[in-house]
């Protein structure tokens, strides 16, 4: 879903499940989040159960009928698992293929041989930025996680020193650079120049990712000094392998979904006709599901065959790859359910109503609105769509450059402080084996640094161009 418009998304508005006023909704949001944090940190409850109870508590505090709150939660859980769950599953299978065949070892050994300890965080941010250019954030994570964890383990690095640069590279691409859905939605809503937005986005992204990635990772590693969790690290391949796959074949397999999605994005921009045969073909082969599925199937030949895998061994590898992710799927899905309960309660609309009377510069207004909606709903995409729709009239009298900067300001604000109502928060927490507090001190702070640094750079650029 890369070619969206605010008009399309707003064509079928959803009636809020509660008629609560702004004050009650604000209290309900704080209460729901407090319940989740308290259950996890104080009572050591599993995150899936805590998110489920917190969602129902949010609905109760907002005065929503219980049946409607349940429907919102289950709808959000279902749509999140449908959208992200299959990608996580395919990524887990590909990761297991990489591990069992020796392909992941080949990649990790090459990285460790080529990059010095000092340059390793810079190498990881570069790899993540390149891979993350056309990928959805969740797809980028499932592709990079095996490499990040194995590099940290084999090189005896702090997980934060390696993981934060990789996450920063993915996140900056997701929030600022087309063809990601958020920036494309804002470009369409504000009638901005796509090429100019892309150029200015890269200009803002480079210093932002340096500060939030390699530089902040030094601080994050001191705050949270953890090693890669053993349960998530792919095991070393057995010694009965015929051969390890070559570095080129392994890299080509990993990059296949990247190339397919990037091709789709380029065709969308160049052809720009949903009914055109070429665009329809690339819309299929470049979708995250098909791109990752293709990588898994290709990997069975490029990775499994050199390692001498039989049909039975391939089947066993797929089965073993899926087993560790059941808990992750439920937690991420419950995070999506909590987010949907927030949205259906009217929290996003509450922020829009309050912000209408703010009298501040357009770029700062766009950033603040996106920040507020991001904090309230946990969704960067919802924040981008809502903020773009609200500030679109302000772009009418702007130059092309300032309209592009307005798009980037919205994208930067949409990344601010990911916390317990964001499915991405739980994805990072579970993959990296962190506590809620550790995730807040690393991932959440990193997201905030990206948002603030990018927002500041955008304001500075507006004074120059």
pLDDT tens profile 360-375: 888 998 999 889 888 8
What does each C-alpha distance from 177 to 74, 93, 285, 302, 344 come to in angstroms? 32, 28, 21, 31, 29
Report the C-alpha gap between 307 and 301 in whole angstroms.
10
Report the C-alpha gap between 216 and 385 in whole angstroms.
29
In a domain, 442, yes or no: yes
In a domain, 197, yes or no: yes
Task: Write out pLDDT tens, residues 244-293.
Answer: 898 899 889 988 887 887 788 788 778 878 889 999 999 899 888 898 89
Backbone angles phi, psi at 142, to 5 degrees: -70, -25
pLDDT-derived band at 459 (thresholds 50, 70, 90) equals: very high
Range name among 104-113, 207-216, 217-226, 404-413 with the lowest pLDDT average? 104-113
Task: Write out pLDDT tens, residues 157-174.
Answer: 999 999 999 999 999 988
pLDDT at 192 > cutoff 80: yes
Domain carrying residue 227: 6-464
Q: What is the DSSP letter of 63?
A: T
Return all residues near 460 (Cβ < 8 A) that are at least 6 apart: none
Range name among 82-86, 308-312, 385-389, 422-426 with the lowest pLDDT average? 385-389
In terms of Cα–Cα distance, which of 180, 376, 341 is closest to 264?
Answer: 180
In terms of Cα–Cα distance, which of 439, 433, 425 is closest to 227?
Answer: 433
Give the pLDDT confidence score for residue 240 in this predicted structure: 56
Report the C-alpha gap between 278 and 266 in whole angstroms.
11
Give the pLDDT confidence score for residue 237 in this predicted structure: 62
In a domain, 294, yes or no: yes
In a domain, 1, yes or no: no
Domains held by the chain: number: 1
Range name among 203-212, 232-241, 324-333 with the lowest pLDDT average? 232-241
- The CB density around residue 186, as the number of other CB atoms within 10 Å, is 32
Task: Write out pLDDT tens, residues 24-48.
Answer: 998 998 898 889 888 887 888 888 8
In a domain, 130, yes or no: yes
Query: What is the pLDDT of the chain when averaged over all its residues?
Result: 85
Q: Where are the alpha helices (DSSP H) in 305-361?
A: 311-322, 326-344, 347-355
Report the C-alpha gap between 6 and 186 in whole angstroms.
8
In a domain, 338, yes or no: yes
Q: What is the average per-residue pLDDT within 84-95? A: 81
pLDDT-derived band at 338 (thresholds 50, 70, 90) equals: confident
pTM: 0.75
What does each C-alpha distance from 91 to 14, 159, 291, 349 come to in angstroms? 33, 20, 11, 35
């Amino acid at each position: 879903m890369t070619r969206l418009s605010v008009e399309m998304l707003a064509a079928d508005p959803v009636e809020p499940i509660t008629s609560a006023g702004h004050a009650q909704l604000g209290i309900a949001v704080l209460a729901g989040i407090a319940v989740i944090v308290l259950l996890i940190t104080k009572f050591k409850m599993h995150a899936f159960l805590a998110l489920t109870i917190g969602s129902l508590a949010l609905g109760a505090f907002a005065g929503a009928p219980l049946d409607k709150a349940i429907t919102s939660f289950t709808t959000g859980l279902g749509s999140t698992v449908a959208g992200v769950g299959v990608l996580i599953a395919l990524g887990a299978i590909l990761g297991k293929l990489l591990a069992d065949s020796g392909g992941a070892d080949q990649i990790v050994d090459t990285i460790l041989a080529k990059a010095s300890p000092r340059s390793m965080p810079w190498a990881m941010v570069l790899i993540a930025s390149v891979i993350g250019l056309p990928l959805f954030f969740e797809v980028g994570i499932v592709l990079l996680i095996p490499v990040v964890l194995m590099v940290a383990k084999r090189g005896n690095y702090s997980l934060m020193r390696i993981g934060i640069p990789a996450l920063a590279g993915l996140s900056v691409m997701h929030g600022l650079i087309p063809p990601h859905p958020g920036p494309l939605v804002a470009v369409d809503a504000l009638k901005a120049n796509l090429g100019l937005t892309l150029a200015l986005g890269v200009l803002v992204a480079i210093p932002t990712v340096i500060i939030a990635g390699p530089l902040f990772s030094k601080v994050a590693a001191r705050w949270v000094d953890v090693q890669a969790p053993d349960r998530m690290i792919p095991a070393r391949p057995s010694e009965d392998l015929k051969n390890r796959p070559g570095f080129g074949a392994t890299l080509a397999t990993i990059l296949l979904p990247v190339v397919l999605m990037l091709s789709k994005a380029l065709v969308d921009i160049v052809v720009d006709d949903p009914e055109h045969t070429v665009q329809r073909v690339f819309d299929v082969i470049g979708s995250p599901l098909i791109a990752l599925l293709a990588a898994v199937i290709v990997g069975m030949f490029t990775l499994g065959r050199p390692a001498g895998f039989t049909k039975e061994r391939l089947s066993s590898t797929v089965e073993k790859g899926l087993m560790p992710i059941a808990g992750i799927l439920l937690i991420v899905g419950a995070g999506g359910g909590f987010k949907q309960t927030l949205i259906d309660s009217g929290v996003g609309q509450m922020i829009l109503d309050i912000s209408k009377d703010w009298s501040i510069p357009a770029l700062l207004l766009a950033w603040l609105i996106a920040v507020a909606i991001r904090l309230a709903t946990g969704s960067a995409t919802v924040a981008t769509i809502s903020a773009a729709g609200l500030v679109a009239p302000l772009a009418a009298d702007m130059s092309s450059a300032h309209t592009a900067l307005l798009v980037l300001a919205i994208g930067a604000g949409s990344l601010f402080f990911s916390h317990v109502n964001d499915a991405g928060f739980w994805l990072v927490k579970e993959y990296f084996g962190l506590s809620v507090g550790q995730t807040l001190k690393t991932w959440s702070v990193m997201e905030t640094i990206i948002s603030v640094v990018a927002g500041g750079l955008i304001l500075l650029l507006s004074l120059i161009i």
